[in-house]
Chain A
Amino acid sequence: MVQLNTNIGSLELKNPVMTASGTFGYGTEYADFMDISRLGAIIVKGTTLNPRQGNPYPRMAETPSGMLNAVGLQNKGVDYFVDHIYPEVRKIQTAIIVNVSGSCIDDYVQTAGIINTLDDIPAIELNISCPNVKQGGMAFGVNPDSAAQVVSAVRKAYDKTLIVKLSPNVTDITEIARAVEGAGADSVSLINTMLGMAIDAEKRKPILSTITGGMSGPAVKPVALRMVWQTAKAVKIPVIGLGGICSATDAIEFLLAGASAIQIGTANFIDPSISEKVIDGIADYLQRHGFNSVQDIIGALE
């Protein structure tokens, strides 16, 4: 029996497979297709201080080996989460992590402070990298100073595991990673979606209501892998890798590049039980190569 457990700061996960925010609902949407309690963690969708309607339809465009989305953080707000979602998701026997987003620093701080009071939420993922909102979101994550500012403000209000989700839409992601590490982040997760665009040539119009959107899926994997590899060398805190992971092999590549855990995003839309298959596939790989623990392959790129 191989050991799959891994640590993100003080948070121990039973395995390194998490589901990415915005791709797995609140977990329950997938319960008919797999045993969601087997996951290392579920990162529930982006939660903001106030309810958000998100962007107008159309919000999605399929691209070669990928997709663009422009959802724009549609959610019912943190109070609704606390009152209606939390009582349900806390029953799931895995780590439930809330992705927190905001339009200004105070939004992030207040939302994180409210989540901090929930006993069964051991971590938050601070989203400073959403490309689909007009205010806040990615704006915080593309500059080391503003990234550090929001993280250090949230750090004061939040005392559990603080993961910061980074944007790939930057010149040097390691610079941002080091800045948020310095500001007190326990971990960084990367990459959020890459800013992209799709056009309907027949109609001579953009496909997305917002014109631009966030690109995800297998097409972004090589970029994500490169950024995870660079970042894992640049910071001491654990790195969570994501971006186009569709199989156990993809996941193992991220672990080898230095990720302590991985997230599955777009692939959940293609195969709603993929994350379970990835957990099993990682265990098979470890066995096949004679490793006792997943720790043996983290950053083990030769």
Chain B
Amino acid sequence: MKKYQSDMVVADNVMVGPNATLLTLKYPESLPDMVAGQFAELQVPSAKVLLRRPISIHSIDRTNNLVEFLIQIVGEGTQSLAAVKAGDTVNVLLPLGNGFNYRSTHVARPLLIGGGVGVAPLLFLGQEFAEHGIRPTFLFGGRTESLILRKEEFTKYGDLFITTEDGSAGEKGFVTNHSLLLDSEQFDRIYACGPTPMLKAVACWAKEHETACEVSLEHRMACGIGACLCCVEDTADQGNVCVCKEGPVFEFDRLKWFN
């Protein structure tokens, strides 16, 4: 898929959680083709930060050529991205990496599992399913209710189930403890994004219940295009591969998580 470098204009930037901002950027022409699960490299408008920040594509609006990014504020880079204002320009590389597998695979009953800001790419994925008449199930987990981001938006496209560690919303516990998973037959593919321990727990469940499952990894990156070889993950078939180029989405059984 062809990649582009573009100066995108900030259409909107609003806080949507205690530590998360929703940044909407306008592409100067028709949006290039992109797949849910792909990401962009955003140049940080701060002289203190050298490298771009890899951010997953949260959703797209083809009519208005808008791309939304749900960004968790963790350091100086994301802080300065949270501070950009409508009308500012952000230089962006997109779309990068390989997204979720849904265009070429028949999936009837998808389960989309997200942890924390890992819900970000699942909105785009949910929208893609909805466009094809499939109503996905979302299962999100977080420490507490306020960290479950964009609930109303997700429920437009599918059913949303929640777990929180403190029990402030949904069922108390981790996503893999949710009662939804008691019936292991009801989903034919899992798409998961979130912290690595959560992804490993989800992959473990999928392995046990022989359910297809893909996970989106978040590794420390520099280039985002497979040149610097910094963001590697060990795979069963090819050894170390770049998460930015081969991933960020992997079928879980390619990863050497269980041996």
- Residues of A at the B interface (CB closer than 8 Å) are 22-25, 29-30, 32-33, 45, 53-54, 56-62, 64-67, 69, 71, 74, 217-218, 266, 268-273
Tell me if B2 and A57 are in contact (CB < 8 A): no
Residue B229 is within 8 A (CB to CB) of chain A in the complex: yes
A66: B residues at CB distance < 8 A: 50
* Interchain CB contact under 8 A, B51 and A74: no
Interface residues on chain B, number (Cβ under 8 Å): 31
**Residues of A with C-beta under 8 A to B116:** none
Q: Which of B2, B48, B223 contacts A268 (CB 8 A)?
A: B223
Partner of A29, one of B43, B50, B51, B226: B226
Is the beta-carbon distance between A23 and B50 smaller than 8 angstroms? Answer: no
A-B contact pairs, 25 of them (CB 8 A): A22-B228, A29-B245, A45-B229, A53-B240, A54-B240, A57-B234, A58-B219, A58-B230, A59-B232, A62-B49, A65-B50, A66-B50, A67-B51, A69-B222, A71-B228, A71-B229, A71-B230, A74-B232, A217-B50, A268-B223, A269-B227, A269-B228, A270-B43, A270-B52, A272-B5
- Chain B nearest CB: distance from A42 CB in Å? 11
The residues of B with any CB-CB pair to A shorter than 8 Å are: 2-5, 43, 48-52, 91, 93, 219-234, 239-240, 245
Q: How far is B232's CA from A176's CA once the two chains are assembled, in angstroms?
A: 34
In the bound complex, do residue B222 and residue A269 qualify as a contact, i.e. CB atoms below 8 Å apart? yes
Question: What B residues does A269 contact at CB under 8 A?
Answer: 51-52, 222-224, 227-228
Given contacts A54-B232, A62-B50, A64-B48, contact A268 B4 (CB under 8 A): no
Asked whether B50 lies within 8 Å of A268 as measured between CB atoms, the reply is: no
Q: How far is the CB of B130 from chain A (nearest CB, A)?
A: 30
B42 to chain A, nearest CB (A): 12
A272 lies within 8 A of B231 (CB):
no
Q: A23-B228, A24-B227, A25-B226 are in contact. Are A53 and B239 (CB under 8 A)?
A: yes
Q: Do the beta carbons of B225 and A30 come within 8 Å of each other?
A: yes
Measured between beta carbons, the chain B residues less than 8 angstroms from A218 are 50
- Kindly identify which residue among A33, A54, A217 contacts B3, using a CB–CB cutoff of 8 Å: A33
Give Cα A217–Cα B51 distance, bound, in whole angstroms: 10
User: In the bound complex, how far is the Cα of B239 from the Cα of A58, in angstroms?
Assistant: 15
B220 and A29 within 8 A (CB): no
Question: Contacts A29-B226, A74-B232, A268-B227: A58 and B220 contacting too (C-beta < 8 A)?
Answer: yes
Measured in the bound complex, the distance between the Cα atoms of B228 and A60 in whole Å is 10
| A32 and B4 contact, Cβ closer than 8 Å, known pairs A58-B220, A67-B51 | yes
A57 with B233: CB separation less than 8 A: yes
- When the two chains form the complex, which single residue of B228, B232, B239 contacts A57, counting CB atoms closer than 8 Å? B232
The 8 closest A-B pairs by CB, nearest first: A60-B230, A25-B227, A32-B3, A269-B223, A269-B222, A29-B227, A71-B229, A59-B230
User: Whole-angstrom distance between the alpha carbons of A58 and B219 in the complex?
Assistant: 8
**Shortest Cβ distance from A99 into chain B, in angstroms?**
13
Candidate in A62, A64, A217, A269 with the most chain B CB atoms within 10 angstroms: A269
Which residues of A are found within 8 Å of B220, using beta-carbon distances?
Answer: 57-58, 60-61
Choice from A56, A58, A59, A61 contacting B229 with Cβ under 8 Å? A59
- Contact in complex: A69, B228 (CB < 8 Å): yes
- Chain A residues lying within 8 Å of B48, measured Cβ to Cβ, are 64
- Residues of A within 8 Å of B228, CB to CB, are 22-23, 60, 69, 71, 269
Question: In the assembled complex, which residues on chain A have CB atoms less than 8 Å from the CB atom of B223?
Answer: 23, 29, 268-269, 272
CB distance from B136 to the nearest CB of A (A): 31
A60 CA to B232 CA, complexed, in Å: 10
B225 near A270 with CB under 8 A, answer: no
Query: CA separation between A87 and B6, bound complex, in Å?
Result: 31
- Measured between alpha carbons, how far is A266 from B231 in the docked complex, in Å? 15
Q: How far is the CA of A218 from the CA of B232 in the complex (A)?
A: 24
Q: Tell me how far the C-beta of A119 lies from the nearest C-beta in chain B, rounded to whole angstroms.
A: 26
Q: Give the one of B3, B93, B230, B231 with max A CB within 10 A.
A: B230
